[in-house]
Amino acid sequence: MPSAIEQLRDAIAGAQTIVISGHKGPDGDCIGAALALRHGLKSIGKEVTVFSNDEVPKIVRFLDPGGSVIHLATESDAERAGQGQWDLGILVDVGFTQRAGRAEPALLSAETLAVIDHHEIGPEASGEIRIIDPSASATCFILSKIFRDIGLSVDKNAATCLLTGIVTDTGSFRFRNTDEESLAEASELIRLGADLPRISEEVWDSRPMSAIRLLQKAFYNLKLLSGNRLAVTHLGLEDFVDAKDEDSEGIASEIARIEGVLVAAVFREPHSERVRVSVRSRGDIDIAEVCRKFGGGGHKNAAGCTLTVGVLAAMERVIPELERCLESS
Q: What does 252 bind: ligand AMP, Mn ion, none (CB cut-off 5 to 8 Å by kind)? A: ligand AMP
Cα distance between residue 166 and residue 170, in whole Å: 6
The one of ligand AMP, Mn ion, none whose footprint includes residue 305, by CB under 5 to 8 A per kind, is ligand AMP
Q: Does 93 bind Mn ion (CB under 5 A)?
A: yes
From residue 13 to residue 52, what is the string marking binding to Mn ion with x (rule CB under 5 A)? --------------x-xx----------------------
Which residue, 42 or 58, has its beta carbon nearer to ligand AMP? 58
Give the CB-nearest residue to ligand AMP: 304
Distance, first Cα to last Cα, the chain: 41
Q: Between residues 48 and 136, which has the closer beta carbon with respect to ligand AMP?
A: 136
Interaction between residue 117 and Mn ion (CB under 5 A): no
Distance CA 72, CA 219 (A): 34
Edge-to-edge strand order for the sheet containing 263-271?
A: 223-225, 230-235, 263-271, 274-281, 302-307, 297-298
Least CB distance to ligand AMP at residue 119 (A): 6
> What ranges make up the beta strands (E) of the chain?
17-21, 47-52, 69-71, 88-92, 112-117, 129-132, 223-225, 230-235, 263-271, 274-281, 297-298, 302-307
Give yes or no for residue 246 binding Mn ion (CB under 5 A): no
Q: Is 249 in the site for Mn ion (CB under 5 A)?
A: no
* Contacts to Mn ion from residues 153-172, by CB under 5 A: 169
120 contributes a contact to Mn ion by CB under 5 A: no
Spell out the alpha helix ranges (H) of 43-179: 75-81, 104-109, 139-150, 156-169
**Residue 304 binding target from Mn ion, ligand AMP, none, CB below 5 to 8 Å by type:** ligand AMP
Contact of 234 with 220, CB cutoff 8 Å? no
Per the DSSP assignment, residues forming a β-bridge with 92 are 116
Taking CA atoms, 317 is separated from 157, 181, 291, 304, in Å, by: 44, 38, 11, 14
State the minimum distance, in angstroms, from the CB of residue 180 to ligand AMP. Answer: 22
Q: Could you say which of ligand AMP, Mn ion, none residue 29 binds, taking C-beta under 5 to 8 angstroms by partner kind?
A: Mn ion
Query: By three-state DSSP, how is residue 326 classified?
Result: helix
54 binds Mn ion (CB under 5 A): no
Residue 152 to residue 150: CA distance in whole angstroms? 6
Nearer to ligand AMP, 18 or 243 (CB): 243
- Footprint on this chain of ligand AMP (rule: CB under 6 A): 119, 252, 278, 296-299, 302-306
Contact 311, 236 (CB under 8 A): yes
Least distance from ligand AMP to the Cβ atom of residue 11, Å: 25
How far is the C-alpha of 84 from the C-alpha of 192, rounded, in Å?
A: 34
Closer residue to Mn ion, CB minimum distance, 139 or 248:
139
| Binding-site partner at residue 245 among Mn ion, ligand AMP, none, CB < 5 to 8 Å by type | none
Residue 194, Ramachandran bin (φ over 0: left; ψ between -120 and 50: alpha; else beta): beta
Task: Report the residue number, 18 or 31, with the smaller CB distance to ligand AMP.
Answer: 31
- CB of 57 or CB of 304, closer to ligand AMP: 304
Pick the closer one to ligand AMP by CB: 105 or 250.
Answer: 250
Contacted by 105, from Mn ion, ligand AMP, none: CB < 5 to 8 Å by type:
none
Q: Which parts of this chain interact with Mn ion (CB under 5 A)?
A: 27, 29-30, 93, 139, 169
